Structure 1
């Protein structure tokens, strides 16, 4: 299938990415056998705009997308966080090419008002909307043009290619016992939980928190190296309690073989096997579980290995991409996707 993938492909980051779910989707579409062309709206806007001022390039970026559609003749357009592209442009694409299907993807949380508004707006123009929150939470967007679908956070075997579950605790390659990376401060109080853990966890447990407490955040290869040398990781979202919602870090941690601690309120046990993710309900249970797994290394390796295997087998970016294509086109599912219930 000919697919145009419109998103922020972050070309102007020049390799200093944390991990991009958009690039995972692009490579997954290619691995699934599709002919895929990437259109990076923010990069085009910078390139085309006078003096490189992105906002001045918005109008011409929309024209360039129309030009690209005319030249590439896609059968499907998959678009993500391409805020510079207006619904009127997608409507014009549909007017000129009524056979083209539109699939919208959103990997940001519903508790951010601007993001919820973006989802509602895209539901007016897309044929299908995929959101990284569970179906129960998406009912608020029903009644518009788009059908509503959950999409998980996938691993990419070429990105999440470390496996620290194979390393024993005394291996010198393991420099960190517990890792939490963050650089987001809005709509969250998780910093208080991290501070409490810092205070109460045993002194021999090496708890590293890049991006917090005036420490610099990690990007690109520095972030990848940190994951490859860490034993356990915290999957703390800015807010908890949303069905199947998680930051993309859950796949980054699990895919590299770190033992993952995540809040039980998301309900991932709906489709995750037992002895994979470690669920906590509050600061007390989280602290107890961290210490228990820190002291029982064989158990930590067992759970982390099972979780990594499951993510790579059932939640990889090739399945993820093909699911988006099949759900949008109405094709029969070619795989028993664990998140479809």
Structure 2
């Protein structure tokens, strides 16, 4: 059973979301899934007279679904209003409980309120899966519950192989946003990545950029996002906030997973997962500029690196392996540990 935001109100704009890829992974591994979309349910049951009533109904729905569906596992996304009696029911009936969290855990994003919510779920779950190194929580008494998982690829969704193409409209793809659920830019909001990207564009006049989410170009989503991926031979993977050990937005899976050569800052420490012959790591903007120039002119090496990274991602970080790992951690299967286990 999976309780998360499944973006029904996005009209298919986020069909490749983390939650949807996990669902597909479980199904490909021959499991059945019952889903509850928290945001959709709460919106439909919103009460102006008694705002607490909608949360009560939400928890009643979860309990009733648990009783009717009787799952082996309840998996919780960014949902932090599940009441203690629901967790108690799961414990009493031997239903394993896991959560996932894919936002940045840097201080500017995991603020006091978000940390309180994060810790609330952490005390009740059997395992908490995050797309960053758990080491930041090393002194927390629940540290052993927190485990790293990469952002998954799905072979049905991430089905481009740009390293096989020869004709591209763009050299570099870069896309930023002010939040995927919002979908559009916030007026007056400045993203620190904009300045960095603008300087790149200024210093690389010979390079064609497909750049979205800045300068009044709205972020791109859905099939339009994959269209521009298909037209770009390389990509810049850059996330908001201070660099965190092994953190990236979930965009990384669609960039590497669709066969582009990807540039990442060394501070992300993704060299634990990819070699410098799979992903291009840069130290600073000058280093990045030099490397973009080099690889834009050396197609054989670009293709070789992009293909190697693509194969590693699809062979070792796909949604079937990741969902099997989630089940293994709560002793619901005995699959092998993936290669990224204990590399954090």
Query: What TM-score does the superposition give when structure 2 sets the normalisation length?
Result: 0.89
Cα distance in structure 2, aligned partners of 1:259 and 1:315: 17
1:12 and 2:17 are equivalent in the alignment:
no
1:177 and 2:167 are equivalent in the alignment:
no
Q: Could you tell me which residue of structure 2 aligns to residue 268 of structure 1?
A: 270
Q: Could you tell me which residue of structure 2 aligns to residue 205 of structure 1?
A: 207
Structure 2 residue aligned with 1:161, among 159, 162, 166?
Answer: 159
Cα distance in structure 1, aligned partners of 2:159 and 2:52: 37
Deviation per CA, 1:88-143: give whole Å up to 9, x if none: 25334336x43111001101111211443332221111111111111322324x31
Q: Could you tell me which residue of structure 2 aligns to residue 216 of structure 1?
A: 218
Q: Could you tell me which residue of structure 1 aligns to residue 315 of structure 2?
A: 313
Query: What TM-score does the superposition give when structure 1 sets the normalisation length?
Result: 0.89
Q: Could you tell me which residue of structure 2 aligns to residue 304 of structure 1?
A: 306
Cα distance in structure 1, aligned partners of 2:218 and 2:243: 29
- Which moves more between the two structures, 142-151 or 276-285? 142-151
After TM superposition, give the deviation of residue 273 of structure 1 in Å. Answer: 3.5
Q: Relative to 1, partners in 2 of residues 1:303 and 1:55: Cα closer, same or farther, differing over 3 Å?
A: farther
Structure 2 residue aligned with 1:194, among 186, 192, 197?
Answer: 197
Deviation per CA, 1:282-339: give whole Å up to 9, x if none: 1111111111111111111111111111100111010011101111227544244334
1:94 and 2:96 are equivalent in the alignment:
no
Cα distance in structure 1, aligned partners of 2:117 and 2:287: 36
What is the correspondence of 1:227-238 to structure 2 with a 5 Å cutoff? 227-238=229-240
Q: Relative to 1, partners in 2 of residues 1:145 and 1:249: Cα closer, same or farther, differing over 3 Å?
A: closer
Cα distance in structure 1, aligned partners of 2:330 and 2:296: 44
Q: Could you tell me which residue of structure 2 aligns to residue 43 of structure 1?
A: 40
Provide the aligned length of Structure 1 versus Structure 2: 329
Deviation per CA, 1:68-106: give whole Å up to 9, x if none: 1111011111111124x32425334336x4311100110
State the superposition RMSD in angstroms.
Answer: 2.3
Q: 5+ unaligned residues in a row in structure 1: which ranges? A: none
What is the correspondence of 1:279-290 to structure 2 with a 5 Å cutoff? 279-290=281-292
Cα distance in structure 2, aligned partners of 1:119 and 1:147: 13
- Which moves more between the two structures, 331-340 or 316-325? 331-340
Q: Could you tell me which residue of structure 1 aligns to residue 70 of structure 2?
A: 73
Q: Could you tell me which residue of structure 1 aligns to residue 181 of structure 2?
A: none
The answer on whether the counterparts of 1:175 and 1:230 sit within 8 Å (CA) in structure 2 is yes
Q: 5+ unaligned residues in a row in structure 2: which ranges? A: 179-185
Q: Relative to 1, partners in 2 of residues 1:262 and 1:240: Cα closer, same or farther, differing over 3 Å?
A: farther
Deviation per CA, 1:30-87: give whole Å up to 9, x if none: 1112221111111122233359x9986332112111111111011111111124x324
Cα distance in structure 1, aligned partners of 2:52 and 2:313: 39
